[in-house]
Structure 1
């Protein structure tokens, strides 16, 4: 049983890293959070309920670890070396436009309240169902749906503000 859970954890590592990257915005911190999550999960494997979802349990541990990190460190910024990788053999214009749009989305998501950003990440990026997110975050399903709705509306508004002619012409005067 324990070996099976460990194999499932290994299979979930990419999803955990993606979620951690979305929460933290930093590759190195995301890797640290995943490591902390796995360590805590292995240390407390006996508290995992075999009838529940392993991914929800791990997402909850990761989220709590991120909150602990934020409380301990407050505002710190770091540059990711992965963001500066060379672009060889690709259409530079398309890649640049895609990266600019992705940067706009990341900045907009960073402006969302944390409770909305977490729900948005779990539903839209990780593909969890509302019920699964509610279980992972220990929230009522209606709260998850409400936060997700507000997050989507706020994100759309923030991205619309970025794309509006007034905001793009403000820097070209």
Structure 2
């Protein structure tokens, strides 16, 4: 079934269609939550809450907006609410380097340091800048989709992204000189 047909069937009370739809969007919902909170448990909690909200609010979805934009708004609002209630934590991924050669290990370690520093820099951004960065660069949303998802004017989205890029560039400028880690 095409997504719109699944949505209409789910809105008509077809439980199987709703479950199929939720299963299709579950990875997308989790990925968005994880990119915003960087913590597996918090992302799982936010994803579950978002899927429940989608389940209970499917009838309020109108085809004025794209379905993924509507879902994105739900996930983002849940994560923002969690950020407001508690300070977010950053989890550092463990890398299994046992099977890599020496050069590969060095590249992987440097890459993991860079990725960690980028995540930490994104986490230091103000909430509204962090959210638009995640949506634009990690979820590949267009400016219009971000504006629609966050219910913001298009120029505000552009301004947030511009300022966020400036802040990130300042925070990460040492990488242009060969990296900040030893």
TM-score > 0.5, shorter chain as reference: yes
Counting matched residue pairs gives: 166
Distance 2:51 2:180 in 1: 44
Q: Is the 8 A contact 2:37 2:89 kept in 1?
A: no
2:69 aligned counterpart, secondary structure: helix
Alignment partner of 1:86 out of 96, 99, 106? 96
Offset of residue 56 of structure 1: 1.0
Distance 1:159 1:129, change over 3 A: same
Aligned counterpart, 1:122? 135
Unaligned runs of 5+ in 1: none
Distance 1:7 1:156, change over 3 A: farther
Distance 1:111 1:163 in 2: 20
Offset of residue 28 of structure 1: 1.2
CA offsets 1:44-73 (integer angstroms, 9 cap, x no match): 11101134211111111111111222233x
The answer to which structure, 1 or 2, has the higher relative contact order (CA under 8 A, 6+ apart) is 1
CA RMSD of aligned residues (A): 2.4
Distance 1:104 1:78 in 2: 11
Question: Structure 1 length normalisation: TM-score?
Answer: 0.83
Distance 1:46 1:65 in 2: 19
Unaligned runs of 5+ in 2: 1-8, 11-15
Q: Is the 8 A contact 1:112 1:151 kept in 2?
A: yes
Question: Structure 2 length normalisation: TM-score?
Answer: 0.80
Aligned counterpart, 2:77? 64
Q: Is the 8 A contact 2:33 2:46 kept in 1?
A: yes
CA offsets 1:22-51 (integer angstroms, 9 cap, x no match): 211211111111111011010111101134
Offset of residue 76 of structure 1: 6.0
The equivalences for 1:1-173 within 5 A come to 1-2=9-10, 4=17, 6-72=19-85, 74-75=86-87, 77=89, 83-84=93-94, 86-90=96-100, 91-161=104-174, 168=180
